Amino acid sequence: MRRILGVFIALFMCCVPIGIQAEEEVLTFEYTGQKIEIDGAEGYFSTTGPLEDAPIDCGKYFADTGGGYVTFEINPKKVLVNVSYNKDWREGDSEENIYLCKFDGDYELKLRILPNGDFVSFDRYDGNIDFQFEPKNEKDVPVGKTKITHSDVEVVYYEDGYKIDSGRSDIEPILLKDAGEYIVSFDADSRYYESIPFKVTILPKTIELQLPNYQKYVGEKDPILETDDYILIREVGEEVGNYKLTAQSKSKNYIYEIVANDTFTILDSKQQSIRPEEKKDPLLSINPSNKDKNKYASAEDMESNKDIEAKVDKESQKTETKVVTGVSNLTSMYLLVMLCSIIVILYGLKLNC
């Protein structure tokens, strides 16, 4: 009995594979847009009836080879479509342009979003192309922003200021007017843009100064060393000698550089160092507009001094003349009195005799 049962089981195990191999074999092809032909086929049939030629579109077909039928099917071609957010989309633009599709091949499709957020396509391929979207749903698409970047800037100050443009018409440029260092970014709608900060350095403008000769005498006050734009600062000291001058700007937009006459001179006293015939014009103020005025004023003062000296000399001569004349008259009267006295004395002596 056991032997009979073993033989039965062995026969059953051998018959199972034979039965599987006896099932109908179906050939599978991918859609290519070209006819799918079977070797030795004399005719083709679809599930709805005979065909005039080998099939092109997707579906299940049969090929009559004369000795039997071959079953085959054409499946849609799978095309992977990467979906990304369109950073240039703005409110008011077409909803079809919110997302961008990237894929390999020359295909035409329009993205459609189902009520549940899944992506499907409008196309003209009648199911022959299977567009597979990644991600499959719009909630999984990261909403990116357009990055606005600009390289660091270093310029020299000029009066109209420095304008920096983002290159986009809907974003106002940055205008900086004063020298200094700035960390700036464009003022853009944060829903669509991410503005990356960058550094702007505006260097002061250098102005060259050619100064007149500044000097004074020991004990005098310094002349005015200041203008509306800068202050001249000299080294500390009040002894005879030369002192270095430096210029300090009153504005951070300018640097003043002395290129001529950068020393301040202190001279010895006027009485010891200058003879009358060597008198010079008074020291000039730093304000050039007073230069000629001072010159004219000094010339008038000199003429006035000359007139005063001439008047003093004339008055002295008159006084001396008066004094001399008085002395001369007094002497004559004295001699006359003495002479009369002698005559009287002699006349008296004569009478006594």
pLDDT of residue 316: 45
Residue 321, number of CB atoms within 10 A of its CB: 10
In whole angstroms, give the CA distance from residue 40 to residue 29. 17
Show Cβ contacts of residue 326 under 8 Å, excluding neighbours closer than 6 positions: none
Q: Which residue has the tokens 């103020």?
A: 285
pLDDT of residue 9: 44
pLDDT of residue 273: 45
| 80 within 8 A of 185, measured Cβ to Cβ | no
Amino acid code (one letter) for 135: P
pLDDT of residue 333: 66
Q: 271-289: string of b/e by CB count within 10 Å (b at 16+)?
A: eeeeeeeeeeeebbbbeee
In whole angstroms, give the CA distance from residue 47 to residue 49. 6
Q: Which residue has the tokens 């030629």?
A: 53
pLDDT digit of tens for each residue in the chain (353 aa)? Answer: 444 444 344 444 444 444 433 345 789 999 999 999 999 999 999 989 999 999 999 999 999 988 889 999 999 999 999 999 999 888 888 888 999 999 999 999 899 999 999 999 999 899 999 999 999 999 999 988 899 999 999 999 999 999 999 988 889 999 999 999 999 999 999 989 999 999 999 999 999 999 989 989 998 898 989 899 999 998 999 889 999 999 999 999 999 999 998 889 999 876 544 434 443 443 333 333 333 333 333 334 434 444 444 444 544 444 443 333 444 444 556 677 677 777 767 766 665 55
Find, among 34, 50, 32, the residue nearest to 42 by Cα.
50
Strand-pairing partners, residue 132, are 80
- Share of residues in the chain with pLDDT > 70 (%): 72
pLDDT of residue 332: 59
Find, among 80, 179, 82, 88, the residue nearest to 131 by Cα.
80
Q: Which residue has the tokens 């499946």?
A: 75
Residue 236, number of CB atoms within 10 A of its CB: 6
pLDDT of residue 180: 95
In whole angstroms, give the CA distance from residue 45 to residue 144. 51
In whole angstroms, give the CA distance from residue 186 to residue 163. 12
Tokens (6 digits) for 85: 């957010």
* DSSP letter (8 states) at residue 1: -
pLDDT of residue 327: 40
| 9 within 8 A of 56, measured Cβ to Cβ | no
Looking only at the bridges linking them, the beta strands covering 241-249 and 263-267 are antiparallel
| 179 within 8 A of 203, measured Cβ to Cβ | yes
Q: What is the pLDDT of residues 84-116, one digit of tens each?
A: 999 988 888 888 899 999 999 999 989 999 999
DSSP track, 103-140: -SSS---EEEE-TTSBEEEE-SSTTSEEEEEESSBGGG
